[in-house]
C-alpha cells in the first residue's frame, strides 16, 4: 500500500469528492483525520467508513469551519495526535454566488473567498508548521476548471480557484528547501452537490450552456471521482517526491506514467503560465 502508516488530514471529507479522497487514502493504508461543516455529517461519514478500517488504522472526524482560525487550530490539534503529519488535502470549498457578476452581493463574494482561499491558506499555514520540523510533507489543494477557464456567472468560484493555484505555486517555492511538496489538483467535472446547486439555480442564473452540461452530468454521469482521488494518493506518496508547484489534471495529464510526467513537468506547462518577454516578441534585456 502506498500510504501505509501515513497520517493525513482531509478537509471537506464527509461527502462528494472529499469522501472519495478519504476512502482512497484509507484503502492505501493511511490514518485519516477529516472534517466537515457539521457534526452530523461527520458522524454519518465516520459510521459508514469505520467497517472498512484495517486493524490498527485510525479514522478521526471533526466538525470544522475552515474559514475560522480557531476551528482550524482545533482541527490540527486533534489531527496531529495521530502522529507526524505526512499529507494534507485541502478539499473544502463552495461554488459561491451563481448569476451575473453585477448581481453578486458583497456578502456572497466574501463568503466564497473566506472558504475557498482564506480557508485553504489557514490549513496550509498549520500544515507547514507541522511538517517543517520533520523536513518532509505533502500539501494537495483541490482546484478545478475555474482556475484555467473563464466561468461566466460563477465569478467568485473562478477567481478563488485561480487564487488557490497561485497560492499553491508560491508556497511550493517557499517550502522547497524543507522538502514539502505543494500541488493543486483539477479533478474534472464531477457529479456532486455542486452539480445539484447549478440545476437548482436554473439556466437563467447559471447560463443555458453550463446548465445543460450539468444536466447531462447529473443524468448520464461525469468524470470518475476515483481518478482524482487516485491522483491525490499519488501526490501524497513517495512516488511523487520532488514534484511541486504544479496544477495537475486528473483526466488529461500523464501522471500515471511518472517518467513521462516528470519529463514534462520540468517546464511551465502545469502552472498558471508566466508571461515572458518572448511572448510579446521581445528579447529579454541583457
pLDDT 10s digits, 85-138: 999 999 999 989 999 999 999 999 999 999 999 999 999 999 999 999 999 999
Residue 141 contacts residue 171 (beta carbons within 8 Å)? no
- Measured CA to CA, the distance from residue 108 to residue 137 in angstroms comes to 34
Instruction: Indicate which residue of 95, 157, 211, 270 is catalytic.
Output: 157
Q: What was the pLDDT predicted at 267?
A: 80
Closest CA relative to residue 84, chosen from 2, 180, 158: 180
Structural domains of the chain in order of their starting residue, each with its CATH number: 7-188+224-252 (3.40.50.720), 191-222 (no CATH)
Task: Report residues of the chain scoring pLDDT below 50.
Answer: none
Q: What was the pLDDT predicted at 220?
A: 77
Residue 186 contacts residue 247 (beta carbons within 8 Å)? yes
Closest CA relative to residue 90, chosen from 11, 175, 169, 193: 11
- Measured CA to CA, the distance from residue 166 to residue 247 in angstroms comes to 9
Cell of 130: 507541522
Q: What are phi and psi of 88, to 5 degrees?
A: -130, 135
Whether residue 95 lies in the annotated active site: no
- Provide the terminal-to-terminal Cα distance of the chain, rounded to the nearest Å: 51
Q: What are phi and psi of 34, to 5 degrees?
A: -135, 160
137-142 and 180-186 as β-strands: parallel, antiparallel, unpaired?
A: parallel
Residue 160 contacts residue 144 (beta carbons within 8 Å)? no
Q: What are phi and psi of 206, to 5 degrees?
A: -80, -15
Q: What are phi and psi of 253, to 5 degrees?
A: -100, 145
User: How big is the chain, counted in residues?
Assistant: 286
Cell of 56: 490498527
Model-wide pTM > 0.75: yes
Q: What is the DSSP string of 134-203?
A: GT-EEEEEE--GGGTS--TT-HHHHHHHHHHHHHHHHHHHHHGGGTEEEEEEE--S--SHHHHHHHHHHH
Q: What was the pLDDT predicted at 145?
A: 67
Amino acid at each position: 500500500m502506498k500510504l501505509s502508516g501515513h497520517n493525513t488530514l482531509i478537509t471537506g471529507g464527509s461527502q462528494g469528492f472529499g469522501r472519495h479522497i478519504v476512502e482512497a487514502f484509507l484503502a492505501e493504508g493511511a490514518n485519516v483525520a477529516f472534517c466537515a461543516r457539521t457534526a452530523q455529517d461527520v458522524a454519518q461519514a465516520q459510521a459508514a467508513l469505520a467497517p472498512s478500517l484495517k486493524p490498527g488504522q485510525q479514522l478521526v472526524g471533526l466538525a470544522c469551519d475552515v474559514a475560522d482560525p480557531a476551528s482550524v487550530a482545533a482541527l490540527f490539534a486533534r489531527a496531529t495526535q495521530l502522529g507526524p503529519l505526512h499529507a494534507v488535502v485541502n478539499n473544502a470549498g463552495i461554488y459561491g454566488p451563481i448569476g451575473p457578476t453585477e448581481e453578486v452581493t458583497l456578502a456572497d463574494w466574501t463568503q466564497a473567498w473566506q472558504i475557498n482561499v482564506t480557508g485553504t491558506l489557514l490549513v496550509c499555514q498549520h500544515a507547514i508548521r507541522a511538517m517543517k520540523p520533520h523536513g518532509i510533507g505533502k500539501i494537495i489543494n483541490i482546484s478545478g476548471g475555474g482556475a484555467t477557464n473563464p466561468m461566466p456567472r460563477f465569478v467568485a468560484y473562478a477567481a478563488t480557484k485561480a487564487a488557490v493555484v497561485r497560492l499553491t505555486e508560491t508556497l511550493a517555492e517557499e517550502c522547497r528547501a524543507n522538502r514539502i511538496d505543494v500541488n493543486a489538483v483539477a479533478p474534472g467535472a464531477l457529479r456532486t452537490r455542486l452539480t445539484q446547486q447549478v440545476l437548482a439555480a436554473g439556466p437563467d442564473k447559471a447560463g443555458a450552456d453550463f446548465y445543460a452540461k450539468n444536466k447531462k452530468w447529473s443524468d448520464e454521469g461525469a468524470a470518475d471521482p476515483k481518478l482524482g482521488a487516485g491522483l491525490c494518493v499519488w501526490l501524497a506518496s513517495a512516488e511523487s517526491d520532488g514534484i511541486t508547484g504544479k496544477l495537475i489534471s486528473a483526466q488529461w495529464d500523464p501522471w500515471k506514467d511518472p517518467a513521462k510526467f516528470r519529463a514534462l513537468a520540468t517546464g511551465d506547462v502545469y502552472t498558471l503560465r508566466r508571461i515572458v518577454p518572448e511572448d510579446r516578441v521581445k528579447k529579454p534585456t541583457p
